[in-house]
Amino acid sequence: MRDIVSYKMQLRQIEEAETVKDAEEVSKTHGINERSCLSYLDGFDATKAFPSDYMNLVDEGVLNLELKLLLRVLLTQGIIDIDQVNCSLSLLKSQRQFTPPPLIKYTEVMGEGKLSFSASEMASLSFMIPLVLAQYVSCDESPHYANYILLLRICASLQCYSFSEDQLKLTQFDIECHNSTFVELYPKPLGNAITPKLHYFFILYLK
């Protein structure tokens, strides 16, 4: 866990790096780009003072990762065809405003990097994709698909404006089920197991 001491030490490593490339490597390792201007304020602790960022943690992180892994499994198993999925997605209409996601790229699904979607595109795609995938797979047939649907339920719960105590307990139970199943479905080295964003997202929102 990062604290103010380790945070300052990691910042110094970035700032004292001999080359830009070295600084970028340290930045990737620690997940820090540069010193926050707020860190010059007396009593400010960058490891405690910032609110959680749902867009970065969920839309650009957790949902991007798990959707990619799910699509990779379904493609590898021959359950879906990426061109058919893209065609079906393009035909979906809604009376609500949403950001239409671009085409899903086969090379990105099967590659090492992230899916190249913005936060708003991923937010739309994550809840549109089950309407398409349901034509090919069900939760009973695929534990990978079932765990993704569970993730969507968790995400919907965490965006509620208010909670009852029972709802919080159910969400905590859902998170525990999701995480334990995720590790079984996507173990290292084939998958990513629990990534920092997965860990941070779920731990943070349970506090």
Tokens for 59, please give them.
């839309």
pLDDT at residue 204, rounded to an integer: 55
Instruction: State yes or no: pLDDT of 74 exceeds 80.
Output: yes
Mean pLDDT of 160-164: 85
How does the average pLDDT of the chain come out, rounded?
86
Rounded CA-CA distance 177/180 in Å is 5
Instruction: Give the mean pLDDT of 137-158.
Output: 94
Contact between residue 158 and residue 62 where contact means Cβ atoms under 8 Å apart: no
pLDDT of residue 76: 95
Question: Omega of the bond prior to 189 within 30 degrees of 0, cis?
Answer: yes
Between CA 204 and CA 100 the distance in angstroms is 30
Sign of CA dihedral 120, 128, 60, 206: positive
- Residue range 170-176: average pLDDT? 88
Report pLDDT digits (tens) over 132-141.
Answer: 999 999 999 9
pTM of the model: 0.73
Residue 45: what pLDDT?
84
Where do we find the tokens 């047939």? 141
Q: Tokens 């990534």, residue?
A: 195
Are the C-beta atoms of 144 and 73 separated by less than 8 Å? yes
Q: Is 43 exposed, middle or buried (0-12, 13-18, 19+ CB in 10 A)?
A: exposed
Q: What is the pLDDT of residue 126?
A: 92
Residues 11-49 have pLDDT tens digits of 999 999 999 999 999 888 888 888 888 888 888 888 877
Note the pLDDT of residue 201: 62
- The answer to whether 201 and 61 have CB atoms below 8 angstroms apart is yes
Residues 153, 63: contact at Cβ < 8 Å?
Answer: no
Strands (E) located in 36-175: none
Average pLDDT over residues 40-66: 81
